Amino acid sequence: MEYSTFGRHVAVDTWGVDFDILNSSELLEAHMVEAAEACGATVLSVQAQQFEPQGATVLVMLSESHLSIHTYPERGFAALDCYTCGETVDPQLAIDYMLTVLKPTSTHAKKLIRGLGELQVEEPQLKQAELV
Residues labelled as active-site residues: 65, 70, 85
For strands 43-50 and 7-15, give the pairing.
unpaired
Half-sphere exposure of 56 (CA within 13 A, CB side): 22
Amino acid at 118: E
CA dihedral sign, ordered 33, 39, 45, 49: negative
The answer for residues whose C-beta is within 8 angstroms of residue 122's C-beta and 6 or more apart is: 110, 111, 112, 113
CA dihedral sign, ordered 61, 35, 58, 88: positive
Phi-psi region of 55 (alpha: psi -120 to 50; beta: other; left: phi over 0): left
